[in-house]
Structure 1
Amino acid sequence: MAPTRIRGALNIGFQMMITIGILIANLINYGTAKLEYGWRVSLGIGAVPAIMLCVGALFLGDTPNSLIERGKIEAAKKMLQRIRGIDNVEEEFQDLVDATTAAKDVEHPWKNITQPKYRPQLTFCSLIPFFQQFTGINVIMFYAPVLFKTLGFGNDTSLMSSVITGGVNVVATVVSIFTVDKFGRRILFLEGGIQMFVCQLAVGTMIAMKFGVSGEGSFTNGEASLLLFFICAYVAAYAWSWGPLGWLVPSEICSLEVRSAGQGTNVAPCQR
């Protein structure tokens, strides 16, 4: 459904909604921390987006591709006209029809992707999600309160630090939306990877110097602020590079013959 010129930015909208969800969850955890049964309130509020998804699905329309695949050609054309806001969509509509026809002729995508000519696509669809998870971002984003508390932050401070990293995550993802189609995917991968590497070295060094192998130690206020800065810089680098691009790049490099298999391979390591 996305226009080609901004397809990368709109694709990253998926990651953008994830980061907003993480930030909202962190804010709710911080706001309910002092309540007697705060964890129950925090957990129960999770029903709100679930209900919104269920209700919203009732109003969700079909894409032109989906309508074409089911033989509803006229309905697909009208939907495309509605999406683009113009009546003259003949050229793009014919491209969709041709692509759908070609996709139906594809047989054995999982067998196709193992052929030597598709080895680069298989490599990208396997290693990009692997290294996306291997960056360690889940430790920071999902276990940030526990991590900060272990490092000597107070309970309230650790939750607020999680809110800060969540906010950085959202802002940096916005940066990716506005730069991915302008500067390209490669430069964001390289810059983000280097920045993450430097920040990880800094965080690891600080923790090793203060806690050693015993796990006992503490940070001064200044050191804690510096540690939080490096963690935020790490999160920012991930949010405008390996986070969204881990979904975007594999979706762009696979031809019709292997697209379903490539996307399946890409998504599999990310499920948890």
Structure 2
Amino acid sequence: MPAASSNRKLAILLASVAALGGLLFGYDTAVISGAVGAIDHNFIAPRHLSETAANTLSGWTVSSALFGCILGSLVAGRCGDWLGRRNGMMVSAILFFISALGSSMPEIGFAPVGQVGPEALAPFICYRILGGVAIGLASTLCPLYIAEISPPQSRGWLVALQQMAIVTGIFITYFVNWGIASQGSHFWVITTGWRYMLASMTLPATLFFVLLFLVPDTPRWLVMKGRRDEARGVLARLGTPDVARTVEEIAISYEEQAENQARLNAFGWPVVVIGVLIGMFQQFVGINAVMYYAPLMFQNMGAAGNNAFLASILLGGVNFVSTVGVLFVIDRVGRKPLLLFGSCLMTVAMLALGIFFTLQYQGAAMILAILVYMFAFAVSWGPVAWVLMAEMFPNSIKGKAMPIAVASSWIANLFVSVTFKILDGDSILNRTFHHGFAYLLYAVISLGTVWFVIRFVPETKGLRLEAIEEIWRGEVSPQSSEVNAREAAGAI
């Protein structure tokens, strides 16, 4: 086997193992959609709250994991620097397992399973928050690991494997939820079946944990810890052309990091603010209102029972296939063109969906609109935002800036997830918009991202991670084909 082919396969293998953290991220994101009815039936309805209070509590319960995501992403940088990228991912795998088991049986430890009513809501939320911490760790450390072991010329699509794994997890979960829901009546699902849905995540969590024993840590972390010989070994296995030069460049970048420990704005505040806004806009376009509440959304469209779960599978299929497609073009087309294309198409799709709901139209065009929206997100803001957050920050501030950007994404996610349930269930709004108000709002935000991308987002295609800082210093234009060609030919 040619050495170059062997090195390429190793990079893909390491990236694929790390991307399993993304699969768990997606699995956890989607699995809760099958339990929304059970949460309302078992934990919310017995409390006899007002409409607004019930919708707020239900929205908080469904999205409570996002609070943990914020915490996890904020500590991920320190965790990754202290324990290592690989060991940090192992911690997330353990937390995924505990969360899955605990949220499926929140009574564990203080009462027999199934014999506690709404009082089990508090431990359920705690387990979901713990799972959120796992997602926060994985959503920061997994793309960081992939970015740090990937060659520049293929870093975009390898980091995009994280998003590929996320949508794979979502797609698999829709099938799992549908399969479990098919085993009994609707009453069985909301009383018992939901437990199997949540517990099913223990299987991929165990696989992720075991496979992480087989991968090395990244050269950049090894250099940071003074383990240069190990770093040289990993770089050599990955086929880096000039190992000695690459190790020296990494060492210099971390020396700058030590000098700038207290200076998050070492390259100016724009780099940090743009990274934060990329994370926030990824969520403000409404994607997780769709992901978390897919069955509810399709029920609002007129689908009933298992048909809503089947429609969710169709949505997950479009997400999956579209994300596969973007892997082949992200390093050719670049980051900005994909973002602009997705923003424009999402604006049209969400506007159409909001109008259809408002006019109380029920038909194939509604399904088409949401599928077009999913396609647009899957080829743009879904993978590209993660790629940019993993590669746009200079090494000297990456440990601080990337967790902040990822945390901002989770904060926006939490806001969207909680407010969607309130907006969608508000009887006053629904008298006029008939469940369409939220989608019209997301259309306006999607339109705003077009201006943001044109004006502020840099093109980082083909640049080495150590060269990214030149963009923020104003020393080089990332659009320069000469620079991209030169850097793509260089080392990791």
TM-score by length of 2: 0.49
Partner of 1:151: 301
- Matched-pair contact (CA < 8 Å) for 1:112–1:118: no
Superposed counterparts of 1:86-235, under 5 Å: 89=240, 91-107=242-258, 111-114=262-265, 117-210=267-360, 219=362, 223=363, 225-235=364-374
The separation in 1 between residues aligned to 2:230 and 2:265, in whole angstroms, is 37
State the distance in 2 between where 1:114 and 1:27 align. Answer: 45
Residue pairs, 1:220-259, within 5 angstroms: 223=363, 225-259=364-398
Match of residue 214 from structure 1: none
Native 8 Å contact 2:276 2:406 kept in 1: no
CA distance in 1, matches of 2:212, 2:376: 33
Against the structure 1 CA distance between its residues 144 and 110, is the aligned structure 2 distance closer, same or farther, given a 3 Å change threshold?
farther
Return the match for 1:70 from 217, 222, 225. 225
Match of 2:447 in 1: none
SS at match of 1:106: helix
Post-superposition Cα deviations, 1:127-149, rounded to whole Å, max 9, x if no partner, equal: 11111110000011121011111
Q: Which of 387, 391, 402 is the matching residue for 1:263?
A: 402
Shift in Å, 1:17: 0.3
Letter in 1 for 2:230: A
Structure 2 vs 1, CA of residues 70 and 108 (structure 1 numbering), >3 Å: closer, same or farther? Answer: closer
Q: Once structures 1 and 2 are overlaid, which stretch shifts more, 7-16 or 243-252? A: 243-252
State the match for 1:17 in structure 2. 165
Q: Deviations over 1:73-117 (max 9, x none)?
A: 222222222222xxxx462442233223331342475753336x5
Give the drift of 1:54: 1.9
Q: C-alpha distance in 2, partners of 1:62/1:168?
A: 34
Instruction: Report the AA paired with residue 254 of structure 1.
Output: F
Q: 1: CA distance between counterparts of 2:199 and 2:324?
A: 29
Provide the rounded CA distance (Å) in 2 between the counterparts of 1:257 and 1:62: 19
2:183 counterpart SS class: coil
Q: Give the TM-score taking structure 1 as reference length.
A: 0.87
- Verify the 8 A CA contact 1:251 1:263 in the aligned structure 2: yes
Give the counterpart letter for 2:334 in structure 1: G
User: Which of 225-234 and 39-48 deviates more?
Assistant: 39-48
CA contact (8 A) 2:174 2:309 kept: yes
Query: Which sections of structure 1, spanning at least 5 residues, go unmatched?
Result: 211-217
Q: 2:180 aligns with which of 22, 32, 39?
A: 32
Deviation at 1:198, TM superposition (A): 0.2
Question: Which residue of 201, 208, 218 maps to 1:53?
Answer: 208
Q: CA deviation at 1:266?
A: 1.1
Q: Distance in 1 between matches of 2:349 and 2:371?
A: 9
Query: In the alignment, is residue 44 of structure 1 matched against residue 199 of structure 2?
Result: yes
Residue 112 of structure 1 aligns to a residue whose secondary structure is coil
Distance, in Å, in 1 between the alignment partners of 2:312 and 2:241 is 50
Q: Using the alignment, how far apart are the partners of 2:322 and 2:243 within structure 1?
A: 33
**Counterpart code for 1:166:** G
Q: 1:93–1:155: structure 2 CA closer, same or farther, 3 Å change rule?
A: farther
Q: Does the 8 Å CA contact 1:102/1:256 hold for their aligned counterparts? A: yes
Q: Report the Cα offset of residue 152 of structure 1.
A: 1.6
Q: Which moved more, 1:238-247 or 1:60-69?
A: 60-69
Q: Which has the higher contact order (CA 8 A, sep 6+)?
A: 1
8 Å contact from structure 1 (residues 80, 93) kept in 2: no
What number of residue pairs does the alignment pair up?
256
Contact 2:160-2:383 at 8 Å conserved across structures: yes
**Structure 2 unaligned residues grouped into runs of 5+:** 1-148, 185-191, 415-492
Letter in 1 for 2:339: F
Q: How far apart are the structure 1 equivalents of 2:353 and 2:241?
A: 55
Tell me the distance in 2 between the aligned counterparts of 1:188 and 1:268.
23
In 2 relative to 1, CA 266–108 (structure 1 residues): closer, same or farther, beyond 3 Å? farther
Shift in Å, 1:239:
0.8
Q: Percent identity?
A: 30
In the other structure, the counterpart of 1:215 is none
